Amino acid sequence: MKVLFYDEETVDCTSDPHYVNFETRRGMYEAVLKVCSDPVVWAITSVKLELNGERYESDRYFPPITQEDFGKAVKGPYAKKHKIDGLYFLGDPKVDSGHHLPPGLSGVKEAVQLILRELENRHVPEGELRIGVAWDFVKDHNCSDYISVKELGEPVTDFSNQDWYVENENYPEHCERLSKVIGIPGIVEPNQSC
């Protein structure tokens, strides 16, 4: 006997994307590091890098959801160093140990270093960088809260936010802060069509 489960429930997982074009690839990766290091990003939940056919990943973390989760949140100097303070451990990376990135901000730094090494060797890297973030103004991570470089060889980054943030009274200030950290005032604005 075969059983087929069919779930008709739909899930709306859309974003308010903010594509930013940079003059150089190096300038773009410096801006990504600057944003991830800045308080505009409360925490970094995950780092994934696809680089020239090789996949790198960090451990995955997530903001606490239940009261029980708060008790499991990582704290202390280690957590602060990696910018995972207040998150709880969700899972190991699905790659071998040679492709395991450090967690949080340290993982972002290592991923960017791997990409810049390719650029220094005059290779145009292929692949994608995807950084899960918990923005400071909500201190949460949703399915659209990512900083993504979808094509490593192109100087374009998406500083994406969850679309329902458009209704949050603090969202315009967040967009203004993010623009200033990127270094291009007014580049990130709420998309009113969300």
pLDDT category at 65 given cuts 50, 70, 90 is: confident
Question: Using the 8-state DSSP alphabet, how is residue 12 labeled?
Answer: -
191 within domain boundaries? no
117 within domain boundaries? yes
Among 12-16, 47-51, 60-64, 156-160, name the one with the lowest average pLDDT. 12-16
* Mean predicted confidence (pLDDT) in 59-78: 86
Count of domains forming the chain: 1
92 within domain boundaries? yes
6 within domain boundaries? no
- The number of beta carbons lying within 10 Å of the beta carbon of residue 75 is 11
Q: Tell me the per-residue pLDDT of 83-132, one tens digit each, with 9 for 90 and over.
A: 999 999 999 999 999 999 999 999 999 999 999 999 998 888 999 999 99
123 within domain boundaries? yes
- Look up the pTM and report it: 0.89
**What is the distance between the alpha carbons of residues 138 and 160, in angstroms, rounded to a whole number?**
14
Domain with 173, as residue range(s), is 15-182
Contact 146, 130 (CB under 8 A): yes
8 within domain boundaries? no
1 within domain boundaries? no
134 within domain boundaries? yes
